[in-house]
């Protein structure tokens, strides 16, 4: 009876040890794999790896749970699957010419009890087509707004579009359209107001997608702008004196090039014998009647602009540096809208008027001051006459005043 009980206990212990050993081995085997992202048409590598394998069988299944490889044997009749490496610890398989239909969850399976499984998700990336760059107008005038669109067609996942103008990042407005099989088309619209400095600057559309790098398209801005005008003194180099000649050249550039350049004298008639040849102005035998502001006006399809030269004719013997003979190019931008710029005679007149007014006020104040402090002459005799009730009393008071010579005084008030 005791022997029989001992035998039953030993058998139970034996099976417990076997089960524990098996369970330890099963838990000690670790099956791992990795997710894979692959560009359509390229090759994906699927890896099934086992740590502490005890010769258990490794196999790879497709998303439909069909066996691709059982150990190193390929039951599936798809030659795109090729064995890269097989050992007790690894099953490495390549899938060439990947298509969207290959996307899904692949299963690495280890024949243990119970079987172990690890999952590798294959994601197929579809790069977009060449970006399509279009603009609302090819030529833009300065100060106007233009719109440029960039389209990235047929990608998976959806592309991200960025903009640059030169080295300056810009923000566009994107719309995403979903197509079949989780494919997307993205369009970004960029609106910007251009200036003449933008002429010839590249606007770049950059496509950001995991399947491609440095994918971009660019367009060079073509901006038309008003002329830039500058008057250059060709002769003389120094003072403009009576009897000498004056030669000025008007230099103007714009886009398009100025088609017309005109000379005029501001607020006065042009000298009758002045000679204009194209952009050059020539005046001979200068005299002081020619003093004034001479203006060169250039125009093109966008608008007009001008520059001024103030002429002051000096006496023949004058050697002082010229204070006024100059071109007023510093005001070119403010005058580019065509508003005339005149010599500020009004300002000078205003200053003179203020000075005259101040002098008049000073004279009035001084006059009032002297009027209020003007001296009044009194004698003692006169004072007695003022205080008397009648003529006789006045004479007596006056005579009484003479008796006391010490009281005879004169007062100034």
Tens-place pLDDT, residues 175-215: 999 998 889 999 999 999 999 999 999 999 999 999 998 89
**The pairing of beta strand 223-235 with beta strand 140-141:** parallel
* 284 three-class SS: coil
- Rounded percentage of the chain residues whose pLDDT exceeds 70: 76
Half-sphere exposure in the Cβ direction for 413 (13 Å, CA) = 5
For residue 20, name the pLDDT band (cuts at 50, 70, 90): very low
Measured over the CA atoms of residue 92, residue 95, residue 100 and residue 102, the dihedral's sign is negative
DSSP assignment string, 21-37: HHHHHHHH-EEE---EE
Least confident of 88-97, 267-276, 336-345, 380-389: 336-345
Least confident of 22-36, 141-155, 264-278: 22-36
Residue from 125, 142, 138, 146 nearest 212 by CA: 125
> Mean pLDDT over residues 12-23, rounded?
45
CA angle 279, 282, 285 (to 5 degrees): 170
Q: Give every CB contact of residue 365 below 8 A, 6+ residues apart in sequence.
A: none
DSSP assignment string, 223-267: EEEEEEEEEEEEE-SS--BTT--EEEEEEEEEESPPSEEEEEETT
For residue 223, name the pLDDT band (cuts at 50, 70, 90): very high
Q: How far is CA 252 from CA 130, 229, 237, 258, 280, in A?
A: 42, 4, 21, 7, 12
d(CA 398, CA 379): 10
Answer whether residue 45 shows pLDDT above 50. Answer: yes
Measured over the CA atoms of residue 347, residue 349, residue 350 and residue 352, the dihedral's sign is positive
**The pairing of beta strand 36-39 with beta strand 116-125:** parallel
Please state the pTM of the whole predicted model: 0.64
Tens-place pLDDT, residues 68-124: 999 999 999 999 999 999 998 999 999 999 999 999 999 999 988 888 999 999 999
Query: What distance lies between CA 119 and its chain's CA centroid?
Result: 50
Look up tokens 């090729």; give the residue: 82
> Mean pLDDT over residues 376-392, rounded?
50
Partners of residue 169 on adjacent β-strands:
164
Answer whether residue 402 shows pLDDT above 50. Answer: no
For residue 329, name the pLDDT band (cuts at 50, 70, 90): very low
Written as six digits, the tokens of 400 are 């009484």
For residue 410, name the pLDDT band (cuts at 50, 70, 90): very low
| Backbone angle region of 74, left / alpha / beta, with phi > 0 → left and psi within -120 to 50 → alpha | beta
Tally of CB atoms within 10 A around 107: 18
> Mean pLDDT over residues 335-345, rounded?
42
Q: If you average pLDDT over every residue of the chain, what do you get?
A: 83
Tens-place pLDDT, residues 225-234: 999 999 999 9
Q: How far is CA 229 from CA 201, 330, 412, in A?
A: 23, 11, 76
Written as six digits, the tokens of 387 are 């205080």
Whether the bond between 236 and the residue before it is cis, its omega within 30 degrees of 0, is: yes
Look at residue 346 in the predicted model and tell me its pLDDT.
59
């Amino acid at each position: 009876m005791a022997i029989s009980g001992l035998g039953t206990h030993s058998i139970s212990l034996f099976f417990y040890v076997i089960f524990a050993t098996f369970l330890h081995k099963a838990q000690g085997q670790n099956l791992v794999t990795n997710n894979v992202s692959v560009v359509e048409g390229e090759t994906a590598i699927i890896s099934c790896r086992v740590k502490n394998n005890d010769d258990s069988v490794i196999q790879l299944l497709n998303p439909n749970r069909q066996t691709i490889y059982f150990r190193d044997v390929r039951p599936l009749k798809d030659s795109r699957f090729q064995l890269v490496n097989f050992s007790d610890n690894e099953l490495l398989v390549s899938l060439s010419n990947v298509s969207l239909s290959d996307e899904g969850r692949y299963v690495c399976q280890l024949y243990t009890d119970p079987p172990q499984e690890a999952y590798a998700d294959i994601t197929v990336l579809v790069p977009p087509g060449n970006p399509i760059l279009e603009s609302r107008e090819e030529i833009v005038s300065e100060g106007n707004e233009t719109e440029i669109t960039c389209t990235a067609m047929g990608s998976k996942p959806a592309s991200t579009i960025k903009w640059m103008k030169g080295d300056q990042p810009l923000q566009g407005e994107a719309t995403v359209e979903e197509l079949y099989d989780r494919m997307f088309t993205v369009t970004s619209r960029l609106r910007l107001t251009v200036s003449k400095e933008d002429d010839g600057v590249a606007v770049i559309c950059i496509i950001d997608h995991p399947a491609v790098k440095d994918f971009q398209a660019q367009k060079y801005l073509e901006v038309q702008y008003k002329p830039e005008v500058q008057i250059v003194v060709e002769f003389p180099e120094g003072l403009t004196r009576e009897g000498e000649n004056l030669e000025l050249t008007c230099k103007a550039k714009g886009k398009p090039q100025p088609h017309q350049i005109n000379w005029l004298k501001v607020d006065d008639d042009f000298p009758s014998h002045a000679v204009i040849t194209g952009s050059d102005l020539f005046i001979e035998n200068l005299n002081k009647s020619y003093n004034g502001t001479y203006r060169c006006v250039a125009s093109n399809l966008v608008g007009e602009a001008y520059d001024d030269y103030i002429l002051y004719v000096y006496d023949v013997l004058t050697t002082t540096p010229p204070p006024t003979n100059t071109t007023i190019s510093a005001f070119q931008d403010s005058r580019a809208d065509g508003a005339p710029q005149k010599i500020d005679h009004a300002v000078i007149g205003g200053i003179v008027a203020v000075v005259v007014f101040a002098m008049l006020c000073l004279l009035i104040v001084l006059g009032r001051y002297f009027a209020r402090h003007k001296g009044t002459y009194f004698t003692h005799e006169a004072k007695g006459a003022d205080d008397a009730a009648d003529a006789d009393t006045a004479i007596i008071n006056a005579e009484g005043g003479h008796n006391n010579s010490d009281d005879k005084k004169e007062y100034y008030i």
